[in-house]
Chains A and B, each alone.
Chain A
């Protein structure tokens, strides 16, 4: 099972919006709505930000939103803040009854 494909890095200025893509196949992202997004600050454990493509856990800012089209899922962060600077990972359930992560995207807030 290959890792899902994410851009290595994205950047944006405070207040702007950015989108991170997560591309899989018909055997994972394309066939299941079990896509999640995680935020990881340096030296910290990952934190769930979006689950089941579009849902936000309690306590996560509504500046974070998720979507999916075909084999590609996306995480959009609006109104960028300095504290959003972190690594972001997507994950998906697969047709092999396993889970796969994306390679990760480093978000820099300029």
Chain B
């Protein structure tokens, strides 16, 4: 069974750094892209970017380029999304998803709250 399990909810202050994770199981992790999707409170889905864990090839949405970093550690089948300096506007639910031409399996989401 394909599963993507994300790290738990985070509460941070503006300016702090953060790295959240997404662990894949039930399939060959290095053979599929992993995408990250943001959902701000009460809003729609926004595609942030993707990584191919096999070679760490990465592509970002222009809206998120330079704002976040996507990485992966194929030895532990885990992808990451990180911020170096959080803003209040980063408050959102973040989902990872196995991604090809579609997003076929999704993680349960990680809620990130940024508040002073």
Q: Which of A1, A3, A46, A93: most chain B CB closer than 10 A?
A: A46
Chain A residues lying within 8 Å of B83, measured Cβ to Cβ, are none
Q: Is the CB of A104 within 8 A of B106?
A: no
Q: How close is B107's CB to chain A, nearest CB, in angstroms?
A: 7
The answer, yes or no, to whether A69 is at the interface (CB within 8 Å) is: no
Chain B residues lying within 8 Å of A45, measured Cβ to Cβ, are 95, 106-109
Q: In the complex, what distance in Å separates the CA atom of A38 from the CA atom of B37?
A: 13
Query: Looking at the complex, which of B13-21, B24-32, B43-51, B69-77 is the stretch in contact with chain A?
Result: B43-51
Q: Known: A1-B61, A104-B45. Contact between A46 and B101, CB under 8 A? A: no
Q: How close is B8's CB to chain A, nearest CB, in angstroms?
A: 15
Chain B residues lying within 8 Å of A12, measured Cβ to Cβ, are none
Q: In the complex, what distance in Å separates the CA atom of A99 from the CA atom of B35?
A: 10
The answer, yes or no, to whether A36 is at the interface (CB within 8 Å) is: yes
Smallest CB-CB separation from B47: which chain A residue?
A99
User: Which among A3, A36, A102, A103 is the interface contact of B103 at CB below 8 angstroms?
Assistant: A36
User: Which among B61, B95, B102 is the interface contact of A48 at CB below 8 angstroms?
Assistant: B102
The answer, yes or no, to whether B1 is at the interface (CB within 8 Å) is: no
A-B contact count (CB 8 A): 61
Q: How large is the interface on B (under 10, 10 to 19, 20 to 34, 35 or more residues)?
A: 20 to 34
Q: In the complex, what distance in Å separates the CA atom of A103 from the CA atom of B108?
A: 21
Q: In the complex, what distance in Å separates the CA atom of A52 from the CA atom of B100?
A: 11
Q: Is the CB of B44 within 8 A of A101?
A: yes
Q: In the complex, what distance in Å separates the CA atom of A46 from the CA atom of B97?
A: 10
Q: Known: A45-B95, A91-B103. Contact between A101 and B45, CB under 8 A? A: yes
Query: Can you identify 21 A-B contacts, CB atoms within 8 angstroms?
Result: A1-B61, A3-B44, A36-B102, A38-B45, A45-B95, A45-B108, A46-B37, A46-B95, A46-B103, A47-B106, A48-B105, A52-B101, A89-B45, A91-B102, A97-B59, A99-B50, A99-B99, A100-B47, A101-B44, A101-B45, A104-B44
